[in-house]
Chains A and B, each alone.
Chain A
Amino acid sequence: MQGVKDCIPTLLGYLSIGFAAGVIEMTAGLSLVETALLSLILYAGSAQFIAAGMLASNGSALAIMFTIFFVNLRHLLLSAAVSPYFRHLTPLKNMWIGSLLTDESFGVAMTRAIGKERLSERWMHGLNITAYLNWFAANMAGAYFGRWITNPERLGLDYALPAMFIGLVVLQLVHRKNKKIHIHVAIIAVVCVIFASMASLGSMSVIVAAVIAATMGVFLERWK
């Protein structure tokens, strides 16, 4: 139950992004059932936006899948980073945890994991499943009611995602023991992602920036 509770602050973020995803999938010409399948089986916001956008512009199936794969490669990092906290579980149980891992549930889990050796499987499922159901509901609501909201940006709804990440990073930073190094890592990551984007690395930018920044963190730790 605590996992369900810990998920609540992220629900608003999910709701607005999921809603937006539903609206966009609808306008891309997807049916209600197709939208439902997207949110239930693919379950990845950025991937759903890409799928909708590319389907609308008649992208080839292979190109769509290829793009989505690269955008979601960052999950390798997320999955690897939570893995130390679930080593007490079997690979099969870890598969279930990983299958519902998102940027948000990752952020919440890592904030809870600070100072801990392991995370509870039940807590993580509570968090993951709450997020999953909420995401599905938001997608369906967006697909259904979307026709009446002409401009979600006017309401600032598109800012829910960056705001949530800002909150998650700040929460991470205030709880970490070696704050200084983490703050440096964050700044390096921001600078790197700007350069990587300008170099047109596209969806690889975040991964490249994160790998460089995390590596710098390990070096900074040595020099200290």
Chain B
Amino acid sequence: MEVRWDVFWIIMGSALLTFIPRVLPLMLFSKIQIPMWLLRWLEYVPVAVMAAMIGQELFMSDNQLVPITHNAALWASLPTIAVAIWTRSLLGTVLVGIVAMMILRYWMG
């Protein structure tokens, strides 16, 4: 039940370093006029960031491409994407993804 001092300061320090990038653009842009080109660019950022995160999760492991025959995560993404397109339900998508992954892991051993 104790809190070690070094752990405490690591938590505080990393929290501050996480807080700054989270908050700074939001605070800054409420004061400053955002230039038009930046607005155009920002429109593509959400899809770009999320697609990049998915890409890393699905294709990579330790900076290596995962071979397609051993890539359960990639195969599980097929039913997941299909359900997402058809149902447009986030909850349904997550559930199908988890179940697909469970079955595939069982299968691929």
Contacts from A to B (Cβ < 8 Å): 8-10, 12-13, 16, 30-34, 37-38, 41-44, 47, 51, 55, 61, 64-65, 68-69, 72-84, 86-87, 89-92, 94-95, 97-99, 101, 103, 106-108, 110, 153-174, 176, 181-182, 185-194, 197-198, 200, 202, 205-206, 209-211, 213-215, 217-218, 221
Task: Check A169–B47 contact: CB distance below 8 A.
Answer: yes
Q: Which residues of A contact B13 (CB under 8 A)?
A: 61, 65
Residues of B in contact with A (beta carbons under 8 Å apart): 1-4, 6-15, 17-19, 21-31, 34, 37, 39-60, 63-65, 73, 76-77, 80-81, 84-85, 88-91, 93-103, 105-106
Q: Are B1 and A91 in contact (CB under 8 A)?
A: no
Q: In the complex, which residues of chain B have a beta carbon less than 8 angstroms from the beta carbon of A43?
A: 15, 18
Interface of chain A: mostly helix, strand, loop or mixed: helix
Query: Chain B's nearest CB lies how many Å from the CB of A112?
Result: 12
Closest 7 CB pairs of A and B: A163-B97, A156-B101, A217-B44, A9-B90, A156-B102, A167-B93, A190-B55
Partner of B63, one of A37, A68, A167, A197: A197
Inter-chain CA distance A176–B3, complex, in Å, is 47
**Cα–Cα distance between A206 and B64 once the two chains are bound (Å):** 15
Give Cα A211–Cα B52 distance, bound, in whole angstroms. 10
Our pick among B12, B42, B52 for the contact of A205 (Cβ within 8 Å) is B52
With A160-B94, A197-B63 already in contact, the answer to whether A83 and B3 are too (CB < 8 A) is no
Q: How far is the CA of A61 from the CA of B25 in the complex (A)?
A: 27
* Cβ-defined contact, A193 with B3, below 8 A: no
Interface centre among A51, A90, A99, A159 (most CB of B within 10 A): A159
